[in-house]
Structure 1
Amino acid sequence: MTALEQSTALSPAAAAAGKHLWMHFARMHGRDEQNPIPVITRGEGVYLWDDRGRRILDGLAGLFVVQAGHGRRELAEVAAKQAAELAYFPVWGYTTPPAAELAERLAHLAPGDLNRVFFTSGGGEAIESAWKVAKQYFKLRGKPLKHKVISRMTAYHGTPHGAMAITGLPMMKKDFEPLAPGGFRVPNTNLYRHPEFDGDPEALGRWAADRVEEAILFEGADTVAAVVLEPVQNSGGCLTAPNSYFARVREICDKHDVLMVSDEVINAFGRHGHTFACEKFGYVPDLITCAKGMTSGYGPLGAMIASEKVIEPFLAPGVTFPHGYTWGGHPVSAAAALANLDLMEREGLNQRVLANQDAFGDTLRKLLDLPIVGDVRGDGYFWAIELVKDKDTRETFGPDERERLVKQFLPGALFDNGLYCRPDDRGDVVVQLAPPLTAGQTEFDAMEQILRGTLEEAWKLV
């Protein structure tokens, strides 16, 4: 067998995956020797290697997860030590030292009086928990009709049936309907798609916040339990909002006795230069949901963090929150999270993001000279490039063009050119970038160059 044949032959992992692995959020038709499932074999820092020996820049931190970078042996060693001492025990009426210490650590890091931590194994479970808490909270307070949730159009909040009912993506939900009742949508803060507010994001923020109150009043304030929003909205492409938007939503929630939930599954743990992004954007919610970067990927873990106001009725005699997860607060993951928080503090990763976020944005904005690039937006280490068919009119792509660009061309072309990132069309067509927080200007430049060449090729397909 020649060297070329060796490099293109299926690895055992690729062959096994092609026959037996049911992939997440992925098409499985047509996977064969000519189109194998990519196999990632190792990572180091901001780079990944596949089973063909190629080095790929991780422009998405795995899935907005690997804040501290790949191959951090100190985190793996902490996890191994904890597994040797106590690999598992639940927090169903018990605890373990890592779970108790992490709960205390997160309570100290969270803003305001968010002092009680409910562990899950991921972000969707954290959202599910927040909705359940909101429902029971109002029942315990004698307001049993308050059960509905207001969220934003195009926003993604998870795949469990409850979390999906809060998600604002019709195409993701249609195959699983009917879902849990009670989810309602309001406009998001996509300035690019609201050109009437060009140059005045504060006006967009006021307008969008007013729609939240309008929805609460339309549904009846006595039926609405929570408003769920991300500090920077993921789906739709890193949609930001002025601080005044969050301040106004906070006022509206207080006025109508509605819980404000900050969904920080992606946004927390340094992605925006703060442990919790709500602090950066100037608001204190009643509940925070978080996951992903808490362990930098060295163990699965999520959490819902509640304020003193929310926990108070649950502390009454005889009250139980009848909800939980087998893997919530897993001691190995909790130990990894504690070590990860130590590492992030020791290496100043939050400060690194704040120092480099403008340079990251400025580097990506160089792509605005391309005819296919309509907008570049984001914050911290979380950016999106919106692709358009016509820059003057901001026309987006039709179904066939989306199929060619987002499903068929961009993922493979970017990966083959040495960049792992996220082409997405849940909403308008975007490419998202969220590298490990250890990335710097060298990596920003590499991303821009790979994107430039790939998007130039993409334009020929339009």
Structure 2
Amino acid sequence: MTASTRTPTTGLPASAARHLLLNMTPNGSLGTEGENLFVIQRGHGPYVDDTDGRRYIDGLSGLYCCQLGYSYAPEFAEAADKQLRELCFSPLWSASAHPTAIELAERLARIAPAGIEHTFFSGGGAEAVETAWKIARRYHSLRGDTGRVKAIARRGAYHGLTVGALSLTDDPGLREPYGPAAIDTRFTANTNRFGLPAEYADDATYSAHLLAELEAEILAEGPDSIAMLIAEPVQNRGGCITPPTGYWEGLRALADRYGFLLAADEVITAFGRLGEWFGGDRYGARPDIITVAKGITAGYAPMGATLVSDHVVDVINRPGAVLNHGYTFAGHPLSAAIALRSLEIIERDGILDHVRGQQDHLQARMNALTALPIVGDVRGTGFFYACELSGDLDGGGFSDRARTELVAGLIPRRLREAGLLARVYNRDAPLVQIAPPLVSDRQLLDRIAQIIADALEEASARL
């Protein structure tokens, strides 16, 4: 019998400190033996267990990926086994494809907004965004608009960390270490109205203000230079920022007027997070391009995809035109099989209806948090919410002491001690964010809201 070569659970942190580089992490802070590393070992339902056997509510669905929680593993294992026994790999390359990717592309076309019937697969969200940009550039180039080389994104938005996607991400701390941006991008206002004048509480007024500002920036930049505008239906960075009524219709009108393509980044908001197959459907979005990832496979395998409208594909599919872009593992048979099973489960088990049925209750529980002094605003929709925190300084800012003791210390510590994994941003506007698995029942949603309330109540008292 061959002895196992797997590292014992007790040795995992030390091994990680020696060999593993984590994403978006000051890796030197793990400690020489990895004593500051949190290791999750298994999942069940909406819960995960760490290596000490402690159970937590996965209040962030992994990283907005595990839409279905962790109880469907046997079904996904069955789909994976069937696919691997039939075909483990075949590229979508040089007039070659495989049945599973074709079936998935057809399935996505059936649930996508009208007029979007084509899919380019990739390995994840950043690759999907890179693909959206290259398709937009190719589209304009084939039409003779070679001067359309600029993009518009929104302030505070995050669209990925690869070189192109990073250009569309409004975070100088992420971009500047890597030099000049690969894409010339202008950042326009997002739709966060917290702290704005009372007149902007009216959707029509606020939407008109945002669209007028955007149009002025388009004109200042030069309309013929803009290739694409990219925005999330609900912006993740900055805390689940929802748009006012009429905003997405206005984006569509501006795109049509000035000839650029409109891309909806649905890497987080698609596949039920907002109670719809695509979150933009809630807001009347009619994009030319949609980027997805994360929930497409419910976290059971890596995959991204860029969905493209018919009128764009009509141009890039002109006789003799080549879409000289691709990824080795695009539409990987295993990932495609798992994505198909995920879509099947979402439909079969009424996941979208479940989110729609519980979203008002979750909204009410989250909105109740505004009664706490440390909560400045609560925003979100579906199973996607954030609390923006208000501190001890005039205007709601945080002193260094309060930021260190409360935002970086007490709040995340109390949430985890109470058995909840949530996201606590320690940025200009500190946030507590949740995106629970879409299978979470009302009792669990109540528990999540109560844990947050308890932690923020204690923080309020100390503030």
Task: Tell me the TM-score normalized by structure 1.
Answer: 0.94
Check 1:65–1:206 CA distance in 2 against 1; reply closer, same or farther (3 A cut): same
Q: Tell me if 1:87 matches 2:88.
A: yes
Q: Tell me if 1:273 matches 2:275.
A: yes
Counterpart amino acid of 1:448? Answer: A
Check 1:399–1:347 CA distance in 2 against 1; reply closer, same or farther (3 A cut): same
Counterpart amino acid of 1:63? Answer: L
Q: Tell me if 1:423 matches 2:427.
A: no
Question: 2:13·2:35 contact (CA, 8 Å) conserved in 1?
Answer: no
- SS of 2:246's partner is helix
Q: Displacement of 1:320 after TM fit?
A: 0.9
Check 1:251–1:400 CA distance in 2 against 1; reply closer, same or farther (3 A cut): farther
Cα deviation code 1:370-395 (max 9, x no counterpart): 2111111101111001111159x651
Q: Map 1:9-28 onto structure 2 (within 5 A).
A: 11-28=10-27
Question: 1:191·1:197 contact (CA, 8 Å) conserved in 2?
Answer: no
Check 1:89–1:410 CA distance in 2 against 1; reply closer, same or farther (3 A cut): farther
Which range moves more in the overlay, 11-20 or 255-264? 11-20
Matching residue within 339, 362, 377 for 1:360: 362
CA distance in structure 1 between the partners assigned to 2:239 and 2:197 by the alignment: 16
Corresponding residue number in structure 2 for 1:453: 454
Question: 1:383·1:433 contact (CA, 8 Å) conserved in 2?
Answer: yes
Question: 2:199·2:205 contact (CA, 8 Å) conserved in 1?
Answer: yes
Cα deviation code 1:307-342 (max 9, x no counterpart): 111111211122111111112101101000101101
Counterpart amino acid of 1:190? Answer: N
Which range moves more in the overlay, 55-64 or 76-85? 76-85
CA distance in structure 2 between the partners assigned to 1:399 and 1:228 by the alignment: 35
Q: Displacement of 1:247 after TM fit?
A: 0.6
Counterpart amino acid of 1:229? Answer: A
Counterpart amino acid of 2:370? Answer: L
Corresponding residue number in structure 2 for 1:324: 326
Cα deviation code 1:399-446 (max 9, x no counterpart): 664454444444343223210011114551111100010012111111
- SS of 2:27's partner is coil
Q: Map 1:223-262 onto structure 2 (within 5 A).
A: 223-262=225-264
Question: 1:409·1:458 contact (CA, 8 Å) conserved in 2?
Answer: yes
- SS of 1:378's partner is strand
Aligned length: 453
Question: 1:57·1:420 contact (CA, 8 Å) conserved in 2?
Answer: yes
Corresponding residue number in structure 2 for 1:47: 47
CA distance in structure 2 between the partners assigned to 1:427 and 1:76 by the alignment: 43
Check 1:133–1:403 CA distance in 2 against 1; reply closer, same or farther (3 A cut): farther
Question: 1:66·1:436 contact (CA, 8 Å) conserved in 2?
Answer: yes
CA distance in structure 2 between the partners assigned to 1:31 and 1:167 by the alignment: 27
Matching residue within 120, 124, 127 for 2:126: 124
Corresponding residue number in structure 1 for 2:309: 307
CA distance in structure 2 between the partners assigned to 1:459 and 1:20 by the alignment: 40
Question: 1:236·1:426 contact (CA, 8 Å) conserved in 2?
Answer: no
Corresponding residue number in structure 2 for 1:376: 378
Q: Displacement of 1:12 after TM fit?
A: 2.0
- SS of 2:69's partner is coil
Question: 1:371·1:390 contact (CA, 8 Å) conserved in 2?
Answer: no
Question: 1:76·1:298 contact (CA, 8 Å) conserved in 2?
Answer: no
Q: Displacement of 1:10 after TM fit?
A: 7.3
Q: Displacement of 1:305 after TM fit?
A: 0.6
Corresponding residue number in structure 2 for 1:283: 285
CA distance in structure 2 between the partners assigned to 1:43 and 1:61 by the alignment: 11
Q: Displacement of 1:30 after TM fit?
A: 3.6
Counterpart amino acid of 1:380? Answer: G
Cα deviation code 1:187-221 (max 9, x no counterpart): 11111132344531332122112222112111111
Corresponding residue number in structure 1 for 2:62: 62
CA distance in structure 1 between the partners assigned to 2:403 and 2:138 by the alignment: 42
Question: 1:235·1:427 contact (CA, 8 Å) conserved in 2?
Answer: no
- SS of 1:184's partner is strand
CA distance in structure 2 between the partners assigned to 1:426 and 1:139 by the alignment: 39
Q: Displacement of 1:266 after TM fit?
A: 0.3
CA distance in structure 1 between the partners assigned to 2:134 and 2:458 by the alignment: 47
Counterpart amino acid of 1:289? Answer: T
Cα deviation code 1:113-156 (max 9, x no counterpart): 11110001101111111111111111100110011111110011
Q: Displacement of 1:171 after TM fit?
A: 2.3
Which range moves more in the overlay, 339-348 or 73-82? 73-82
Which range moves more in the overlay, 438-447 or 57-66? 438-447
Counterpart amino acid of 1:75? Answer: F
Corresponding residue number in structure 1 for 2:30: 31
Structure 2 residues not aligned, in runs of 5+: 1-7
CA distance in structure 2 between the partners assigned to 1:461 and 1:87 by the alignment: 56
Which range moves more in the overlay, 452-461 or 176-185? 452-461
Q: Displacement of 1:450 after TM fit?
A: 1.5
Check 1:427–1:163 CA distance in 2 against 1; reply closer, same or farther (3 A cut): farther
CA distance in structure 2 between the partners assigned to 1:48 and 1:409 by the alignment: 22
Which range moves more in the overlay, 98-107 or 310-319? 310-319
Corresponding residue number in structure 2 for 1:185: 187
Structure 1 residues not aligned, in runs of 5+: 1-8
Matching residue within 103, 106, 114 for 1:104: 106
Q: Map 1:138-153 onto structure 2 (within 5 A).
A: 138-153=140-155
- SS of 2:41's partner is strand
CA distance in structure 2 between the partners assigned to 1:208 and 1:291 by the alignment: 28
CA distance in structure 2 between the partners assigned to 1:103 and 1:183 by the alignment: 30
Check 1:205–1:433 CA distance in 2 against 1; reply closer, same or farther (3 A cut): same
Check 1:195–1:170 CA distance in 2 against 1; reply closer, same or farther (3 A cut): farther
CA distance in structure 2 between the partners assigned to 1:141 and 1:197 by the alignment: 42
Which range moves more in the overlay, 164-173 or 153-162? 164-173
Question: 2:118·2:307 contact (CA, 8 Å) conserved in 1?
Answer: yes
Q: Tell me if 1:205 matches 2:204.
A: no
Cα deviation code 1:27-64 (max 9, x no counterpart): 22342469431111111110010011101001011011
Q: Percent identity, aligned pairs only? A: 40
- SS of 2:307's partner is strand
Q: Alignment RMSD, CA only?
A: 1.9
CA distance in structure 2 between the partners assigned to 1:331 and 1:104 by the alignment: 15
- SS of 2:305's partner is strand
CA distance in structure 2 between the partners assigned to 1:272 and 1:111 by the alignment: 15
Counterpart amino acid of 2:82? Answer: K
Counterpart amino acid of 2:23? Answer: H
